[in-house]
């Protein structure tokens, strides 16, 4: 097939001039590859020198290249039980197609959205709650739809799959007990005969409380600000959709949101609404929505797998032609994949597009109609790798 030969030639030229980046302790890792025209993985490989790695890439020209997150005594052993597991990096994998609303996003929008989510995971959880030092963190653009975050701190490498699952549970808020966060506190009591009536207030952690406590309160404030910014009829409809809140209570809530309430809630005082209104159902609903907003997004099977294969930085992604790029934290924050991960040049290539296409790449806005087009090589590789185009004029079936 001409398109496969085209990609092979371009990848071969690239690897003849550019070497992949070998990971730390690469000789202790298993390597795996997929090739153009083949639908299977060649794995259980090991390399003893960077020269051997570079020679393999330039000679064999893989479409996809991977190495294990795990370290082994015998990485090339054919059976996993014979490899001798020594430990594994902790990996977080975010793919844009897993994000809410991804189905309506363009490729560019998906890449921007997934970088924002990875930044939240990095800052709030990895550097924040987990307290991982920056020198033990590596970020990698996958060359496709997302990012990988590698943690290689020595005390983390021996963690079991179960321990890594607990980390994911924490990041995702799974099993979060809202009754612990939303405290019911007695503030007054009245006794009549044998009966005592108590008056309660409710408190959340303050916004600067560490961990999930402050995170939930900040999310609740953001949600209430969102509701208060809606047109009144829309805001009332949303409020009254919550269990136990009728129109009268909803009107009271909106009146309170129109006044000064944020400082009280920032300090954790959730009892900011009028008496005789169902505060508990309201708060639990808002807190649950806040938990969903604050949740970290990460692919659980990747994080819990202690023998995972992950893409090699400096290699090319066979379905986009983009480079897999390793980034330090500062570079990650401003990284633009469709500019900085482009591997190929600007030589014109004629191809046939199956459908209209538009995208910004290397600083140029491309708006193409279906049919024959002349485009730069880097865009041609991208379109052909994604099977959105064929070489030359259309072919008869």
Q: Which residues contact 301 (CB under 8 A, 6 or more apart)?
A: none
Of 93, 275, 330, 339, which one is the catalytic site residue? 93
C-alpha to C-alpha distances, 216 to 178, 192, 227, 295, nearest whole angstrom: 10, 39, 16, 10
**Higher-confidence residue: 252 or 130?**
130
Q: Is-catalytic flag, 124?
A: no
**Has 223 been annotated as catalytic?**
no
Dump pLDDT digits (tens) for 215-238.
888 888 888 899 889 999 999 998
List the Cα angle 168/171/172 in 5-degree steps.
85
- pLDDT confidence tier of residue 394, bands split at 50, 70 and 90: low
Q: Which of 299, 305, 330, 346 is catalytic?
A: 299
Strands 70-72 and 90-95, how do they pair?
unpaired
Beta-bridge partners for 88: 70
264 is catalytic: no
pLDDT digits (tens, 9 = 90+) for 88-129: 999 999 998 878 788 899 999 999 999 999 999 999 999 999
> What's the CA gap between 31 and 41, in Å, rounded?
10
Residue in 15, 20, 17 with CA at minimum distance from that of residue 31:
20
Q: So what's the pLDDT on residue 171? A: 87
How sure is the predictor about 251, in pLDDT bands with cuts at 50, 70 and 90? Answer: confident
Distances from the Cα of 304 to the Cα of 96, 239, 345, angstroms: 20, 39, 39
Residue pointed to by tokens 């597009």: 353
Burial of 107 (0-12, 13-18, 19+ CB in 10 A): middle
On the CB side of 349, CA atoms within 13 Å amount to 23
pLDDT averaged over the chain?
89
Q: What's the pLDDT score for residue 9? A: 96
Catalytic residue among 95, 188, 263, 365: 95
Task: Tell me the CA distances in angstroms from 281 to 168, 187, 205, 246, 287, one per residue in order.
Answer: 28, 20, 18, 12, 10
What pLDDT, on a 0 to 100 scale, did the predictor assign at position 290? Answer: 67
Tens of pLDDT along 31-74?
999 999 877 899 999 999 999 999 999 999 999 999 999 999 99
Report in angstroms the alpha-carbon separations of 17 from 48, 56, 57.
Answer: 21, 13, 11
Give CA–CA dist 48/25, Å, rounded: 10
Digit-coded pLDDT (tens) for 297-338: 778 889 999 999 999 999 999 999 999 999 999 999 999 999
Instruction: Name the pLDDT band for 147 (thresholds 50, 70, 90).
Output: very high
Question: 271-301: per-residue pLDDT in tens?
Answer: 766 665 566 677 677 777 766 666 667 788 8
- The C-alpha atoms of residue 278 and residue 249 are separated, in whole angstroms, by 8
For the whole model, what pTM was predicted?
Answer: 0.86
């Amino acid at each position: 097939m001409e398109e496969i030969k085209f990609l092979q030639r371009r990848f071969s030229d690239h690897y003849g001039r550019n070497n992949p980046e070998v990971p730390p302790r690469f000789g202790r890792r298993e390597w795996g590859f997929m090739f153009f025209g083949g639908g299977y993985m060649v794995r259980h490989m090991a390399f003893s020198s960077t020269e051997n790695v570079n020679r393999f890439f330039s000679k064999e020209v893989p479409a996809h290249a991977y190495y294990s997150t795990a370290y082994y005594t015998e990485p090339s052993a054919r059976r996993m039980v014979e490899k001798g597991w020594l430990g594994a990096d902790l990996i977080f994998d975010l793919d844009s197609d897993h994000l809410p609303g991804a189905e309506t996003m363009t490729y560019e929008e998906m890449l921007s959205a997934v970088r924002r989510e990875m930044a939240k995971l990095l800052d709030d959880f990895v550097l924040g709650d987990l307290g991982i030092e920056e020198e033990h963190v590596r970020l990698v653009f996958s060359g496709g739809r997302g990012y990988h975050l590698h943690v290689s701190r020595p005390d983390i490498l021996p963690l079991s799959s179960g321990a890594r699952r607990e980390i994911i549970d924490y990041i995702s808020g799974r099993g979060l007990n809202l009754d612990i966060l939303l405290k019911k506190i007695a503030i007054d009591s009245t006794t009549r005969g044998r009966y005592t009536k108590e008056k309660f207030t409710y408190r959340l952690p303050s916004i600067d409380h560490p961990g999930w406590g402050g995170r939930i309160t900040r999310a609740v404030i953001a949600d209430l600000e969102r509701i208060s910014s809606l047109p009144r009829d829309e805001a009332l409809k949303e409020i009254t959709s919550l269990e136990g809140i009728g129109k009268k209570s909803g009107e009271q809530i909106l009146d309170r949101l129109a006044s000064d309430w944020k400082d009280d809630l920032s300090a954790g005082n959730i009892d900011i609404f009028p008496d005789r209104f169902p505060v508990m159902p309201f708060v639990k609903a808002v807190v649950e929505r806040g938990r969903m907003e604050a949740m970290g997004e990460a692919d659980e099977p990747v994080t819990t797998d202690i023998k995972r294969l992950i893409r090699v930085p400096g290699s090319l992604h066979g379905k986009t032609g983009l480079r897999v790029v390793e980034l330090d934290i500062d570079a990650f924050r401003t990284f633009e994949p469709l500019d900085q991960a482009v591997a190929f040049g600007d030589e014109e290539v004629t191809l046939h597009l199956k459908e209209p296409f538009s995208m910004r790449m290397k600083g140029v806005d491309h708006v193409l109609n279906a049919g024959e087009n002349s485009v730069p090589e880097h865009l041609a590789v991208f379109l052909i790798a994604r099977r959105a185009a064929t070489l030359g004029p259309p072919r008869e079936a």
